Chains A and B, each alone.
Chain A
Amino acid sequence: EVQILETGGGLVKPGGSLRLSCATSGFNFNDYFMNWVRQAPGKGLEWVAQIRNKNYNYATYYAESLEGRVTISRDDSKSSVYLQVSSLRAEDTAIYYCTSNAFAYWGQGTLVTVSS
């Protein structure tokens, strides 16, 4: 059974930073590209970042709106992917989902709230 568990969300003040983690199991993580997608309250889905697999030299891609403030990374030995977000703003408040390439597998998301 595929399992994806995001952790690390919470309440953070504007200008603060967070590191989100995504632990996976049940599929061959090393073969997959992995994405972070977010959803602001009552809004649609927004792609945030992608990290490719070893065959693609772990290439990373970022949404332009977040570039410079986010870093995606992965640890294949732990079947995990991470998202470091800095200089947080109120508009970054959202549920952050970890998902595989082609969006086959999703976690339940972790809520990030940016507020003073």
Chain B
Amino acid sequence: DVVLTQTPPTLSATIGQSVSISCRSSQSLLHSNGNTYLHWLLQRPGQSPQLLIYSVSRLESGVPNRFSGSGSGTDFTLKISGVEAEDLGVYYCVQGTHAPLTFGSGTKLEIK
């Protein structure tokens, strides 16, 4: 199974600070069809997860453009350019390239 290693496990940021979360895969997430199925989710406290970024860098509709994704192969990054209070929660990367689908262990973002 593909293992996704997320770092850091926790992140403390002030409002307006820019932060990054890393997601490293145990094998390449480049699918034979040329797509890379690495997505980023945010789960706010007490809520269901929501999709932020799909296929590495594509911003989901309605998601603020302070969120961005980058990477390829086995190394991926989620960046928040200017954290806002509503960004607190747990961020997960998830891959859909290889079965079984797997999630990273999550990064908890706290607001100072």
Contact = CB atoms under 8 A, between A and B. Distances in A.
Given A44-B103, A47-B100, A103 B48 contact: no
B100 A102 contact: no
B48 A45 contact: no
Interface stretch (B14-22, B25-33, B49-57, B67-75): B49-57
A103 B102 CA distance: 12
B33 to A, nearest CB: 13
A61 B101 CA distance: 9
Given A45-B94, A104-B60, A97 B49 contact: yes
Contacts of A102: 37, 39, 51, 54-55, 96
Contacts, number: 54
A58 to B, nearest CB: 15
Interface residues of B, number: 24
Contacts of A104: 51, 54, 60
B89 interface: no
B86 interface: no
- Give the interface size bracket for A toward B: 20 to 34
Contacts of B104: 44
Contacts of A64: 1, 100
A87 interface: no
Contact of A61 (B50, B90, B99, B105): B99
Contacts of B106: 44-45
Contacts of B37: 102
Contacts of B96: 101-102
17 contacts: A44-B104, A44-B105, A44-B106, A45-B103, A47-B94, A61-B100, A97-B48, A102-B37, A102-B55, A102-B96, A103-B39, A103-B51, A106-B49, A106-B50, A107-B48, A108-B48, A109-B48
Interface of A: 35, 44-47, 50, 61-64, 97, 99, 101-104, 106-109
Given A63-B100, A108-B48, 13 more contacts: A44-B92, A44-B106, A45-B106, A47-B94, A47-B101, A47-B103, A99-B49, A101-B96, A102-B39, A102-B96, A103-B54, A104-B51, A107-B48
